[in-house]
Amino acid sequence: MEQLKEKIRREGIVLSEKVLKVDAFLNHQIDPALMQQIGEEFARRFRDDGITKIVTIEASGIAPAVMAGLELGVPVIFARKHQSLTLTDHLLTASVYSFTKQVESTIAVSTHHLSPNDRVLIIDDFLANGKAAKGLIAIIQQAGASIAGLGIVIEKSFQVGRQELEAQGYRVESLARVKSLEGGTVQFVD
């Protein structure tokens, strides 16, 4: 997706050889027009897969997931990272480690929102080591739902996430695949 790559080139900030900051348009401030294009692209790639729900993790996956849900006409569920007074019973949970935040979180989704009849598309902002994706997969499996695939906005292809997910048989569709962040420059696969 060339518009996304161009936005990363212009506004992304390489903080290290493993960290790309995109808070100007994706995970702090959101570019709605770009999110709409991202939603349209995910919908185009997964339109014929019988998706009934989209699942993401709060907070950065919500914007692209909502736009894809709008395009596909399906509900969007986000796994909560923080305890809530209203989300206490009948939970599907998994533990997820965030490299960027250096913290382990328990993510949760209510059993009321996922069922064995659901065909789920996972959407997230980044794929690096695959920890968030594996946590979401665990929750979806607990519900007995099937997984159509994973839609990733930005993939760090130099890390193991994609390889591990594909080795487990999952379809991974990434809109921008970063080959390297060496020398403070974003280099893309393709």
Q: Which of 80, 69, 175 is nearest to 120 (CA)?
A: 69
- At position 113, the amino acid (one-letter code) is H
Report the predicted TM-score, pTM, of the whole model to 2 decimal places: 0.93
Residues 6+ apart with CB under 8 A from 100: 19
For residues 123 and 99, give the distance between their C-alpha atoms in angstroms, rounded to a whole number: 18
Please tell me whether residue 125 adopts helix, strand or coil conformation: strand
Q: What is the pLDDT of residue 17?
A: 93
From first to last of the 190 residues of the chain, give the pLDDT tens digit: 999 999 999 999 999 999 999 999 998 999 999 999 999 999 999 999 999 999 999 889 999 999 999 999 999 999 988 666 556 668 898 989 877 777 888 899 999 999 999 999 999 999 999 999 999 999 999 999 999 999 999 999 999 999 999 999 999 999 999 999 999 999 999 7
For 150, the enclosing helix (H) or strand (E) is: strand 146-156
pLDDT tens-digit readout, 57-113 = 988 999 999 999 999 999 999 998 866 655 666 889 898 987 777 788 889 999 999
For residues 20 and 154, give the distance between their C-alpha atoms in angstroms, rounded to a whole number: 10
Q: What is the pLDDT of residue 168?
A: 97
For residues 26 and 28, give the distance between their C-alpha atoms in angstroms, rounded to a whole number: 6
Please tell me whether residue 26 adopts helix, strand or coil conformation: coil
For residues 123 and 92, give the distance between their C-alpha atoms in angstroms, rounded to a whole number: 18
